[in-house]
Amino acid sequence: MNLLLNNPIANFFDKVGQHLLLLWNSLGYAHVIFTQPPRVIEQCYIMGYRSLPIISILSFFIGAVLALQAGFVLSQLSVLEYIGSFVGLSSARELAPVMVAFLLAGRVGSAITAELASMKVYSEIDALHIMNVSPEKILVMPRLWAAIVLMPFLSIIAILVCWLGGAIIAEFIGFIQLSPQIYWRNLQDFIVWKDVADGMVKAWVFGFAVVLIACNQGLTTTGGPREIGNSVTKSVVNSMIFILFTNFFITRAQM
Amino acid sequence: MGESKQARLRRNILHRDTDVRIDIESVSVSFGEQSVVRDINIAIEPGEIFVIMGASGAGKSVLLKCIAGLLKPNLGIVKINGMDASERETHHEINSTLVFQAGALFNSLTVFDNLAFFPREHKLYKESEIKEKVLETLRILSLDHAAYKIPAELSGGMRKRVAIARALMCEADMIMYDEPTSELDPIMASTISEIIANVRNQFGLTSVVVSHDRDLAYGIADRVAIIHKGELLAVDSPENIQKDPNPLVQDFLNPTINIDDPRFKKLETT
């Protein structure tokens, strides 16, 4: 038995099983969005409203850097007007959803793991079990709902701010100086709704997974306070690996 | 249409049945290679205050977790009124509560909200009734001034009392206490002992107390069990257990410190 647990492959499948079990148990409380809306709204506030400023700032600079790099190459090819499509497509399909998911893993996922791990280590989760209150009902499902509701909004805001950042840089940087009309027209010519929808689907999958990974890591923490820090690290690292790994397959499926 | 799980749970909580019997049958627990509890058999009668004593690491808290259904024994079974304690369904039928060693209070909630948590979650009463009950419970335990403090602002003794108050709000059929007097001064420990006895006398709850506090055991227990390295040494009334001939029991109940012990000599030279 010990040999089995020390086997990394067995460990991997054990973790996958834990996540699926947590998801299954949590889905049994999917009704909390109707029965306990304040809990979902509170998580939406933490996950969405508080993350919005940092998502906006980072999205702006990602759009800006994209425009800068694209402008450098495209100016040499004398096709500067394509900056709009370059920034538009890359941010909508890839960078905005992945960046939002990374931010969610670093900012929200880590906080969720720290909170639940602390509750586990200090027996608060046991106290919930004793009171016949399921942790999935009051701790996991409201957070999953918040991710389901918010991720499409967060990703669309990130996409729009990326585009805006690109437009501003394209207009004001000396060696580019592309008028906003050309930038936005080119972006409109190349971007279709499916591109934005694909990005939103990615963000939705990533956000849901980040919250699930964070909750599972928190609820399976054992040991003393030191393990809380270890759990937070594992949660963020596992989320990022999941995002990058899954991104490849979703991108391939969306082509 | 069948009754929902939530509705049945609510009905069971409101219909208090304190006639709870606990049977611990051949229970063994091990973590990996380490055997923590070995083949323990105890029967706890309804309405009894049963104190499980033993040195640190003897396996008493593990045994309590088995009774509470937080841990499934590797071997044997704990039965509560004939039902397997490790099944959640049993705890839906028999509403039990546990006062944790460190309180396990919800740190993000005020004392008031900690106490109101259980009735609110199970929708037992209207909010005005919950408020009334919480304030009354706080008043009984002399905690009314702490209602709107958060657990981090409380002293160790107050945390214990809040944990007991929260357990009382659960309207349980049986109650368990894990080291209720640890880290407390003798006066506070005696107050907690009185509270445990009063709770049993008032509600007739079967009470299981895990402790290494002899004063508590002698003062309130109907029966005491002594565990040593995971094995049950003796079960008897406090009066009889003090006369138990087993040297391990006597060593635990009446420890003597021999300063000529070679271990202490070794400490002196280091």
Which residue from B32, B70, B122 is facing A126, i.e. has the nearest CB?
B70
- Amino acid at the residue B74: N
Going by pLDDT thresholds of 50, 70 and 90, the confidence category of residue B32 is confident
What pLDDT does A230 receive? 94
Question: Is the Cβ of B150 closer than 8 Å to some Cβ of chain A?
Answer: no
CB-based contact B98 A133, cutoff 8 Å: no
Q: Domains along chain B?
A: 5-95+203-269 (3.40.50.300)
Is residue A26 situated within a structural domain?
no
Whole-angstrom Cα distance, residue B75 to residue B16? 31
Asked if A130 is an interface residue toward chain B (Cβ–Cβ < 8 A), one would say: yes
The pLDDT value given to residue A203? 93
Segment A196-221, tens digit of pLDDT: 999 999 999 999 999 999 999 999 99
B68 vs A119, A122, A130: nearest CB: A130
Domain count, chain A: 1
Q: Is the pLDDT of residue B3 over 70?
A: no
Q: What is the mean pLDDT of residues B112-139?
A: 92
Average pLDDT over residues B187-209: 89
Residues listed for chain B = 270
The owner of tokens 């909580």 is B13
Q: Write down the pLDDT at residue A133.
A: 92
Strand partners, B22: B44, B80
CA dist B256 and A178 (Å) reads 90
Residue A129 is nearest to which of B70, B101, B105, comparing CB atoms? B70
ipTM for the predicted complex: 0.86
pLDDT at residue B93 tops 80: yes
| Three-class SS state of B142 | coil
Amino acid found at B242? Q
Query: What is residue B2's DSSP assignment?
Result: P
Residue B105: DSSP 8-state: -
Has residue B227 got a pLDDT over 80? yes
Average pLDDT estimate for A48-57: 91
Chain A interface mutation, best of B13, B93, B106, B123, highest count of A Cβ atoms under 10 Å: B106
Which residues in chain A are contacts of B32 at CB distance < 8 A?
2
Mean pLDDT of A44-60: 91
Instruction: State which of A102-106, B13-17, B240-244 shows the largest mean pLDDT.
Output: A102-106
Burial class (CB in 10 A: 0-12, 13-18, 19+), A128: buried
Tens of pLDDT, residues B41-58 = 999 999 999 999 998 888
The residues, any chain, with a CB within 8 Å of residue A41's CB and separated by 6 or more, are none
Query: Cβ of A222 under 8 Å from any chain B Cβ?
Result: no
pLDDT at B203: 86
- Residues B197, B180 contacting (CB under 8 angstroms): no
- SS3 state of residue A4: helix
For residue B1, pLDDT beyond 50: no
Q: What is the pLDDT of residue A134?
A: 93
- Share of residues in chain B with pLDDT > 70 (%): 91
In the predicted model, what is the mean pLDDT of residues B135-144? 89
Q: What's the pLDDT band for B15 if we cut at 50, 70, 90? A: low
Asked if residue A95 has pLDDT above 80, the reply is yes
Question: Could you count the other beta carbons within 10 Å of the beta carbon of residue A234?
Answer: 19
The pLDDT value given to residue B12 = 65
Q: For residue A110, tell me if it sits in a domain.
A: yes
* Predicted confidence (pLDDT) per residue in A58-85, tens digit: 999 999 999 999 988 888 888 888 999 9
Q: How much is the pLDDT for B184?
A: 82
A7 occurs within a structural domain: no
What is the residue range of A42's domain? 36-254
Enumerate the residues of chain B whose CB falls inside 8 A of the CB of residue A126.
70, 98, 100, 104
Q: Per DSSP, what are the bridge partners of residue B175?
A: B97, B207
Mean pLDDT taken over chain B = 88
| CB burial of residue B247 (10 Å; 0-12, 13-18, 19+) | exposed
Q: Please judge whether A133 and B105 are an interchain contact, meaning their C-beta atoms are less than 8 angstroms apart.
A: no
Average pLDDT over residues B79-105: 90
pLDDT over 90 at A4, yes or no: no
- CA gap A243, A225 in Å, rounded: 28
Coil, helix or strand at residue A174: coil
* A25 assigned to some structural domain: no
Judge: B107–A123 Cβ closer than 8 Å, yes or no: no
Name B97's bridge partners.
B175
CA distance B4 to chain A (A): 13
Q: Tell me whether residue A24 is in a domain.
A: no
User: In chain A, what's the furthest Cα-to-Cα distance?
Assistant: 70
Tell me the C-alpha distance between A173 and B20, whole Å: 79
Q: For residue A55, tell me if it sits in a domain.
A: yes
pLDDT tens, position by position, B108-121: 999 999 999 999 99
Nearest to A123 among B32, B88, B100 (CB): B100
* Chain B nearest CA to A239, separation (Å): 26
Please report, rounded to a whole number, the percentage of residues in chain B having pLDDT higher than 90.
54
Cα distance from B252 to chain A (closest Cα, Å)? Answer: 28
B152 at A interface, C-beta within 8 A: no
Confidence of residue A28 (pLDDT cuts 50, 70, 90): very high
pLDDT for the residue numbered B231: 93
Average pLDDT value for chain A: 91
Residue B270's pLDDT band (boundaries 50, 70, 90)? low
pLDDT in tens, B170-188: 888 899 999 998 878 888 8
**The pLDDT of residue A229 is above 90:** yes
Q: Which of A3-17, A84-98, B20-34, B197-211 has the lowest mean pLDDT?
A: A3-17
Q: Please, what's the largest Cα pairwise distance for chain B?
A: 77
Q: Which residues of A touch B88 (CB under 8 A)?
A: 129, 132
Q: Is residue A27 part of a domain?
A: no
CA A89/CA A97 separation, integer angstroms: 12
